[in-house]
């Protein structure tokens, strides 16, 4: 079988969960059945390498788009890359697309090469209205591209039961076309890995309880609500915000102002690491943390929680999307309801109450060293039993085979 993967993110250009997913899924797919399947990855960037049965090619055409709104170029650019991607595929049994950034290319490959079109639901545009800040009215174009792709898909991989329901309700994809395959974790890489040098580098005091956030500065990840919760955290808590890559200049400035405000409202130390750190350093921060906080207002799965749990860290997370399928309340951490405004606007109705509830859950973990230890051990055990990338790759390949066997195959 020839499997073509279209994606915005691929190493070294990984910014979120979709990029992590594609990196590990493709690695494991290439190993299956003694490596007899071809895996070709077309992505945004300058990558160009061949590793056995895996080929990676970055696409980076240059064109100065005219645009009435500069933000519209953030849609025009992916469309141009998608054209190049589609023109680069000679033949394929399956074209598997990740996020709307690659959907147009996937639709073209389906028509031009006769491939089965598979989409993985890392997120859905109707649940991310704040993207208007990044794209302006081009947000409506990205939503249209996504809707068009789902109406043309032969199969959909939902990363959680919650996403399966959303894909059906929002885009009308029949349930029989949707396969739930959770995200996974590399258990050999994400594990308890103490490194005092990393803590010293970022001035983290290992003798104090650590509440850790890791993620981008975006409305979706809810970091603003966590910053507003800091004033309610128990005395002696060290807050480490590993947060960079703001979606817009404005949210970056808002974050800066709120952190400064939080520092004036608490005696607790706030360490803000503004860079997106390499994996080994993030793993060392997970290892050192007493509790990991995921305050997302929208999270189809939440791979970040798996990373923390694999490193034996208790988790406090929003009870949204696929997170309740990962975090077990009272056993591996606590879940905090967001009480969203509506199905289409997932921001909390009462942001102040949500922030207070986040702080209360973090305080409940930090109040008990025994709870920290038991949740840490339970989290690692749960990840080992349920979220290996090898099993996820097997299930994905089986889904490809099922699709290709329907109606006489892909060609």
Q: What is the pLDDT of residues 186-228, one digit of tens each?
A: 999 999 999 999 999 999 999 999 999 999 999 999 999 999 9
- pTM comes to 0.79
Residues 6+ apart with CB under 8 A from 119: 96, 97, 98, 103, 106, 149, 150, 153, 155, 156, 157
**pLDDT score of 411:** 42
Q: Spelled out in words, what is the top-level CATH class assigned to the domain 2-184+388-408?
A: alpha beta
Computed from CA positions of residues 353, 354, 357, 358, in that sequence, does the dihedral angle turn out positive or negative? Answer: negative
Nearest Cα to Cα of residue 301 among 315, 320, 328: 320
pLDDT digit string (tens) for 105-164?
999 999 999 999 999 999 899 888 888 888 899 999 999 999 999 999 999 999 999 999
Q: Is the pLDDT of residue 406 over 90?
A: no
Residues 6+ apart with CB under 8 A from 144: none
Strand 38-44 to strand 116-121: parallel, antiparallel, or no bridges (unpaired)? unpaired
Q: Write down the domain spans for the chain.
A: 2-184+388-408, 196-386
Q: Is the pLDDT of residue 54 over 80?
A: yes
Which residue bears the tokens 């590793």?
Answer: 51
The 8-class DSSP code of residue 355 comes to: H
Q: C-alpha dihedral over 89, 91, 96, 99, to 10 degrees?
A: 20
Topology agreement, domain 2-184+388-408 and domain 196-386: yes
Sheet holding 2-7, edge to edge: 48-51, 54-59, 38-44, 2-7, 94-98, 116-121, 155-158, 178-180
Q: Which CATH superfamily is domain 196-386 in?
A: Glycogen Phosphorylase B; (3.40.50.2000)
Nearest Cα to Cα of residue 302 among 274, 334, 325: 325
- How far is it, in rounded angstroms, from Cα 228 to Cα 258? 7
- How far is it, in rounded angstroms, from Cα 320 to Cα 132? 22
- How far is it, in rounded angstroms, from Cα 279 to Cα 21? 14
Residue 215 token pair: 């993620």
Please, what is the average pLDDT of the chain? 94
Is 239 exposed, middle or buried (CB count within 10 Å of its CB: 0-12, 13-18, 19+)? buried
Residues 6+ apart with CB under 8 A from 363: 232, 233, 234
């Amino acid at each position: 079988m020839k499997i073509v993967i279209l994606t915005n993110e691929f190493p070294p250009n990984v910014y979120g969960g979709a990029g992590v997913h594609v990196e590990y899924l493709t690695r494991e797919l290439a190993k299956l059945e003694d490596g007899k399947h071809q895996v070709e990855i077309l992505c945004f960037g300058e990558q160009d390498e061949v590793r056995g049965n895996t080929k990676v090619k970055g696409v980076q055409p240059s064109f100065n788009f005219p645009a009435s709104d500069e933000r519209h170029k953030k849609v025009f650019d992916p469309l141009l890359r998608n054209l190049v991607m589609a023109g680069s595929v000679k033949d394929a049994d399956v074209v598997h697309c990740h996020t709307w950034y690659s959907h147009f290319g996937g639709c073209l490959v389906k028509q031009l090469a006769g491939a089965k079109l598979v989409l993985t639901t890392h997120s859905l545009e109707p649940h991310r209205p704040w993207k208007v800040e990044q794209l302006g009215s081009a947000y409506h174009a990205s939503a249209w591209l996504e809707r068009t792709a789902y109406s043309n898909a032969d199969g959909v991989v939902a990363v959680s039961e919650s996403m399966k329901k959303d894909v059906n309700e929002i885009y009308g994809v029949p349930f029989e076309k949707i396969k739930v395959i959770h995200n996974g974790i590399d258990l050999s890489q994400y594990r308890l890995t103490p490194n005092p040098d990393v803590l010293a580098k970022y001035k983290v005091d290992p003798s104090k309880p650590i509440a850790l956030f890791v993620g981008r500065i975006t409305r979706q990840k809810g970091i603003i609500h966590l910053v507003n919760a800091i004033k309610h955290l128990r005395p002696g808590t060290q807050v480490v915000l590993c947060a960079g890559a703001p979606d817009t200049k404005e949210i970056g400035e808002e974050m800066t102002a709120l952190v400064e405000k939080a520092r004036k409202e608490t005696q607790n130390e706030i360490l803000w690491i503004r860079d997106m750190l390499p994996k080994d350093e993030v793993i060392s921060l997970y290892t050192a943390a007493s509790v990991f906080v995921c305050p997302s207002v929208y999270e189809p799965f939440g791979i970040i929680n798996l990373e923390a749990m694999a490193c034996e860290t208790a988790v406090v997370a929003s009870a949204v999307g696929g997170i309740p399928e990962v975090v077990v309340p009272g056993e591996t951490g606590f879940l905090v309801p967001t009480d969203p405004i509506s199905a289409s606007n997932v921001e909390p109705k009462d942001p102040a109450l949500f922030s207070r509830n986040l702080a209360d859950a973090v305080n409940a973990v930090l109040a008990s060293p025994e709870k920290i230890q038991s949740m840490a051990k339970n989290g690692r055990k749960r990840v080992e039993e349920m979220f290996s990338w090898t099993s996820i790759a097997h299930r994905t390949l089986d889904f490809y085979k099922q699709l290709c066997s329907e109606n006489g195959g892909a060609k």
